[in-house]
Amino acid sequence: MEPSSLLWVGSPCGLHGPYIFYKAFRFHLEGKARILSLGDFFLVRCKAGDPICIAELQLVWEERTTKQLLSSSKLYFLPEDTPQGRNVTHGEDEVIAVSEKVIVKLEDLVKWMVADVSSWNKGLQAIPLKPTVLKELGKNGQREALHKYRESTLNSGLNFKDVLKEKAELGEDVEEKKVLVLSYPQYCRYRSVIARLRERPTSFLTDHVVLALGGIASLTNNTQILYCRDTFEHPTLVENESVCDEFGK
């Protein structure tokens, strides 16, 4: 695969005509090696001067005849960054999705990515599992169960064992801020369960509670949780020279 800084991670997960689909890819951003897999959320800026938004990686594939490396992502904008603007009906942690998926070359997607996410302060700060609970989850295999549950909900049940192995070998910056967009019902359930957990002892945070949280239990306190319940038509995204609409038809 080209360019050399981009590498597929894990085995192919599907074939359709000239397309080979994958689960993840490895790249470098500002000299640091990173891995993005299906279902991951990350911050992007579609072009200079545009507001920062959230992207959700939904498909990555290679076109075998032209060797094009492509991605399909869903974009989420803060209400104030949409044509209609923010109004009283929008929640504090709400984002609005672009109605159409955005298809761009992998190399352009990497160029869109925001390397320094420290200034992002939108969303509900996730409550992480206690260190003692994390240790216990590792001992009894529940941490692996959490990953598997997340895979089944975000990635259609694909086997991500090979991807998780490479991510673990690469190492994860626990201080780096992350974002996660939920559906409105998921967000409401998360807020409800967190409220109940505040009155429970630490030992209550076991596997069944992780599942009750929708498989989104945070391993650190640097995850910002937002929700989406509406879409909008982006007025200028189709004019972006990086967008490859021809591959979405």
Which amino acid, residue 162? Answer: D
Say if residue 231 is exposed, middle or buried (CB neighbours under 10 Å; 0-12, 13-18, 19+).
Answer: middle
Closest C-alpha among 6, 7, 23, 62 to residue 154: 23
pLDDT digits (tens, 9 = 90+) for 200-219: 555 444 545 555 555 455 55
Which amino acid, residue 156? Answer: S
Distance from C-alpha of 81 to C-alpha of 90, rounded to nearest angstrom: 13
Name which residue leads in pLDDT, 104 or 236.
104
Q: Are 158 and 151 in contact (CB under 8 A)?
A: yes
Question: Where do the structural domains in the chain lie, given as residue ranges?
Answer: 7-118, 124-227
pLDDT band at residue 142 under the 50/70/90 scheme = very low
Distance from C-alpha of 87 to C-alpha of 213, rounded to nearest angstrom: 29
**Mean pLDDT score, 13-30:** 91
**Mean pLDDT score, 183-197:** 80
CATH 2.60.40.420, domain 7-118, yes or no: no
Q: Which percentage of the chain shows pLDDT scores above 90? A: 41
SS3 110: helix
Distance from C-alpha of 142 to C-alpha of 51, rounded to nearest angstrom: 39
Q: Which two tokens stand for residue 208?
A: 């069944």
In this predicted structure, the answer to whether residue 107 has a pLDDT above a threshold of 80 is yes
Question: Which pLDDT belongs to residue 176?
Answer: 75
Q: Give the angle 238-224-122 at the CA atoms, nearest 5°.
A: 65
In this predicted structure, the answer to whether residue 156 has a pLDDT above a threshold of 80 is no
